[in-house]
Amino acid sequence: MGETMTMAKALNAGLRRALEADPKVLLAGEDIGKLGGVFRITEHLQRDFGPERVVDSPLAESGIVGTSLGLALRGYRPVVEIQFDGFVYPAFDQIVSQVSRMRFRSMGRLSVPMVIRIPYGGSIGAIEHHSESPEAYFAHTPGLVVVTPGTPLDAYWMIQQAIASDDPVVFLEPKRRYHEKGEVDLTEPPLALDAARVVLQGGDATLFTYGPLVKTCVEAALAASAEGRSIEVVDLRSLSPLDDAAIRASVERTGRAIVVHEAVRTLGIGAEVAARIQEGCFYTLEAPVLRVAAYDMPYPPSKVESAYLPDLDRILDAVDRSLAY
């Protein structure tokens, strides 16, 4: 059974299904109740499930996350919404010092089944602190699961899988893809939460990407095919843990790897993926692993973000360089 919906609607439907399935699931965040959130991801959920399960919180990210940590330790499954990516930093200490470490600190006696939803990435013309790519901070932190959907189908199922997880999950939502539509199969999840997905199969090189740039990489692969090049696209989906088996299998098929993401290049997710490919696929590689990323600078004003973020031309240039070896 399938249905066409936007990523925003898919997330809303996934949250609704989780709320229906488990009375211990709670939502909390700024303006998520009556307003339905800035991006309307939680629209009508407070109306249908009540203000005690869909809570309009104070403007205090550290307080939202800290309170939700306490709820998780008491058996609830809170889902926290951080209104914009740049607003997560006041809660950073709670996330990396408390939420991530509780299971280790308690030697496995305690679990923290909570989800921290963060709209992230650019291309919406937003002002400062409203377009960031903080994924590497969280993927660097042991104890956190970090995932990001690239399609409405993944959004619908991954949010439910994240809520069902007994580990804390940082759930990154590519805000530029909120209103793009796709087919959503409502019957069963296509993949495990921590599995990568081969979006397009190819034989000449692999584009590894995630979240907001999955669609862009598919467009680049299709453009390259017009020139007789066969480019594989792999959506990582899970940034921590990484699906090493899927990454290795793709590189063994193509012999070339290019990692593409919106975050800055230095010490980004691409650096970790490149290192693992170098370590695990050295004798398979036909060319160095390349990275296409944002420039190492603060996120620029919205009028010039198109020059800052990776686009079709920069990805195709990397494909050309890789195939030239």
Q: Do domains 2-185 and 197-323 have the same CATH topology?
A: yes
Mean pLDDT of the chain: 96
Give 124-156 pLDDT, tens digit per residue.
888 888 999 999 999 999 999 999 999 999 999
- Between CA 144 and CA 95 the distance in angstroms is 9
Per-residue pLDDT averaged across 199-209, rounded?
Answer: 97
Strand blocks (E) in the chain: 2-6, 25-29, 54-56, 77-81, 115-120, 145-147, 169-174, 181-185, 197-200, 205-209, 231-235, 238-240, 257-264, 290-294
Per-residue pLDDT averaged across 173-191, rounded?
Answer: 95
Among positive and negative, which fits the CA dihedral 12, 42, 94, 213?
Answer: positive
Short-list 104, 81, 105, CA closest to 91: 81
Q: Is the pTM of this model over 0.75?
A: yes
Say if residue 213's pLDDT is above 70. Answer: yes
Other Cβ atoms less than 10 A from the Cβ of 24: the count is 16
Known catalytic residue: 130?
Answer: yes
Question: Tokens 């050295």 sit at which residue?
Answer: 282
- Domain spans in the chain, listed from the N-terminal domain onward: 2-185, 197-323
How many C-alpha atoms does 64 have within 13 Å on its Cβ side? 30
- Between CA 312 and CA 206 the distance in angstroms is 15
Q: CB under 8 Å to 1, separation ≥6 — which residues?
A: 185, 186, 187
Query: Under a CB-based contact definition with an 8 Å cutoff, are residues 294 and 133 in contact?
Result: yes
Residue 2: what pLDDT?
84
Class of residue 226 by CB neighbours under 10 A (exposed 0-12, middle 13-18, buried 19+)? exposed
Residue 228 region by backbone torsions, left for phi larger than 0, else alpha for psi between -120 and 50, else beta: left
Banded pLDDT at 276 (limits 50, 70, 90): very high
Q: Which amino acid is at 187?
A: T
Residue 303: what pLDDT?
86
Active-site choice (44, 129, 130, 140): 130
Question: Tokens 């590689």 sit at which residue?
Answer: 285
Which CATH code is given to the segment(s) 2-185? 3.40.50.970
Query: Under a CB-based contact definition with an 8 Å cutoff, are residues 39 and 66 in contact?
Result: no
Assign a CATH topology to domain 197-323.
Rossmann fold (3.40.50)
Q: In the chain, what percentage of residues exceed pLDDT 90? A: 95
Residue 1: what pLDDT?
67
Banded pLDDT at 76 (limits 50, 70, 90): very high
How many C-alpha atoms does 37 have within 13 Å on its Cβ side? 27
Banded pLDDT at 184 (limits 50, 70, 90): very high
Q: In what order do the strands lie in the sheet with 238-240?
A: 54-56, 25-29, 77-81, 115-120, 169-174, 145-147, 238-240
Give 9-59 pLDDT, tens digit per residue.
999 999 999 999 999 999 999 999 999 999 999 999 999 999 999 999 999
Per-residue pLDDT averaged across 213-242, rounded?
Answer: 97
Give 84-116 pLDDT, tens digit per residue.
999 999 999 999 999 999 999 999 999 999 999
Distances in Å between the Cα of 32 and the Cα atoms of 37, 40, 100, 242 are 4, 8, 24, 31
What interhelical angle do 214-225 and 312-323 show, nearest 10?
Answer: 50
